[in-house]
Amino acid sequence: MSTTFQLDTATSRANPTPAPMKRLTIPAIRRRKKDGVTEDPIVMLTAYTARQAQLLDAHCDLLLVGDSLGQVIYGLSSSVPVSLDMMVNHGAAVVRGSYHAAVIVDMPFGSYEQSPQQAFESAARLLKETGCAGVKLEGGEAMAETVAFLTQRGIPVMGHIGLTPQAVNLLGGYNARGRSEAEAKKIVADAKALDEAGAFAIVIEGVVEPIAIEATRAVACPTIGIGGSPLCDGQVLVTEDMCGMFERVPRFVKRYADLAGVISGAAADYAAEVRARTFPGPEQTYQPK
Enumerate the active-site residues: 205
Which residue in the set 15, 46, 52, 146 belongs to the binding site for ligand KIV (CB under 6 A)? 46
Nearer to ligand KIV, 73 or 218 (CB): 73
The one segment of 17-25, 59-67, 210-218, 246-254 that binds ligand KIV by CB under 6 A: 59-67
**How big is the CA angle at 150 (ends 149 and 151), to the nearest 5 degrees?**
100
Residue nearest to ligand KIV (CB): 66
Q: How far is the CB of 289 from ligand KIV (least distance, A)?
A: 58
Instruction: Compute the chain's Rg from CA coordinates.
Output: 21
Per the CB < 8 A criterion, the answer to whether 241 and 211 are in contact is no
- SS3 state at 128: helix
- SS3 state at 11: coil
Nearer to ligand KIV, 64 or 144 (CB): 64
Nearer to ligand KIV, 15 or 130 (CB): 130
Cα separations (Å) of 143 from 127, 150, 171, 262, 284? 19, 11, 17, 42, 65
The one segment of 31-39, 66-74, 122-130, 180-188 that binds ligand KIV by CB under 6 A: 66-74
Number of residues that bind ligand KIV (CB under 6 A): 12
Nearer to ligand KIV, 13 or 139 (CB): 139
Nearer to ligand KIV, 85 or 273 (CB): 85
Which residue in the set 42, 66, 98, 103 belongs to the binding site for ligand KIV (CB under 6 A)? 66
Which residue in the set 104, 226, 232, 242 belongs to the binding site for ligand KIV (CB under 6 A)? 226
According to the binding rule CB under 6 A, does residue 68 interact with ligand KIV?
A: yes
Q: How far apart are CA 201 and CA 198, in angstroms?
A: 9
Q: How far apart are CA 180 and CA 245, in angstroms?
A: 34
* Interface of this chain with ligand KIV, residues 143 to 182, rule: CB under 6 A: 160
Nearer to ligand KIV, 169 or 264 (CB): 169
Per the CB < 8 A criterion, the answer to whether 251 and 241 are in contact is no
Q: How many CB atoms lie within 10 A of CB 21?
A: 16
Q: State the amino acid at position 122 in one-letter form.
A: S
Per the CB < 8 A criterion, the answer to whether 179 and 171 are in contact is no
* Interface of this chain with ligand KIV, residues 186 to 215, rule: CB under 6 A: 203, 205
Please give the sequence-ordered ranges of beta strands (E in DSSP) within the chain, or none if there are none: 5-8, 13-16, 33-34, 37-38, 42-46, 62-65, 102-106, 134-136, 157-162, 201-205, 223-226, 234-237
Site string for ligand KIV, 234-263 (x = CB under 6 A): --x-x-------------------------
Q: State the amino acid at position 172 in one-letter form.
A: G
Which residue in the set 57, 61, 67, 195 belongs to the binding site for ligand KIV (CB under 6 A)? 67
Residues at the contact surface with ligand KIV, assessed by CB under 6 A? 46, 64, 66-68, 106, 160, 203, 205, 226, 236, 238
